[in-house]
Amino acid sequence: MQNSNTVVFAGPVEAARRKELEQAFGDISMRTRFVSYGETDSVFKDRETPRFLITLPAPATCGSFETLDIGALDAHFDIELHGRFDAAQSCLKAAGEAGCALLHIVDADGLIGGQGNSLGATAAMAALGLSRSIALDHRDKPIRSNALALAPDWDAEDLAALSAFLFTGKGGEMSGQVLALSKNTVHICSQPRPLRVGHRENGWRQEEVAALVSTSWQGALLAHESASEAFSL
């Protein structure tokens, strides 16, 4: 098998966006191939095996949490999370010792959260966990996996430039990270880590926890902000 500079986009892409991405990646001498999640197995068995994979979010049903049916979550995960999982495994197996680079794209509203977007946010958090796990499982191999949140105003040329960095040797040290992209702006995002610590030798009572939260923990609490509010900083 031969390796190629083809970037495989797995998942749904609007026709207009597809043309923009084809042009933007073509301008940096990288080809694009767009496939549904069900087609990735056959793509990575081709004679010319792509080593670069971008997985995409599927459209999610919107609505206040209490109005959603559990079947909607199952259906969404069947498409998006299972699709990302299968596509990533297919890419890794086909790449073999040569290695590969993965980029898992989520909506910014899913990363930060937004009203009426519990399905999208749940899937986005799962995608981040998948990306991080792939990175850690293969940190001693030439395999990289990162996640990227896109704001609604993202630009195809910016995405191509960022992807090229992550997919080439220059981005070889970047793996297991979460980035975000909005118009003319790129962000590196935090991931769950302890921000404040409270310790008592004799355990905790409710009043002591309340005192801890209201004093030294107060500045570490996240505000109830949406993606648009978070990325406007």
Domain range list for the chain: 2-188, 195-233
First to last CA, the chain: 47
Q: Which pLDDT value is given to residue 37? A: 94
What are the C-alpha distances in Å from 61 to residues 68, 70, 116, 148?
A: 8, 11, 9, 21
pLDDT in tens, 67-77: 999 999 999 99
pLDDT digits (tens, 9 = 90+) for 164-206: 999 987 888 899 999 999 888 999 999 988 888 999 888 999 9
Q: How confident is the model at residue 83 (pLDDT cuts 50, 70, 90)?
A: very high
CA–chain centroid gap for 56, Å, is: 8
**Pair 91, 208: CB distance under 8 Å:** no
pTM listed for this prediction: 0.92
Q: Is 11 exposed, middle or buried (0-12, 13-18, 19+ CB in 10 A)?
A: buried
Output phi, psi for 66, to 5 deg: -70, -10
- Counts for the chain of helices (H) and strands (E), in that order: 8, 7
DSSP 3-state assignment of 124?
helix
For domain 2-188, give its CATH number from 2.40.160.20, 1.20.1260.10, 3.40.50.720, 3.40.640.10.
3.40.50.720
Residues 6-44 have pLDDT tens digits of: 999 999 999 999 999 999 999 999 999 999 998 888 888
Is the pLDDT at 1 greater than 50? The verdict is no
Place of tokens 């990302």: 84
State the number of CA atoms in the 13 A half-sphere of 177 facing the CB.
14
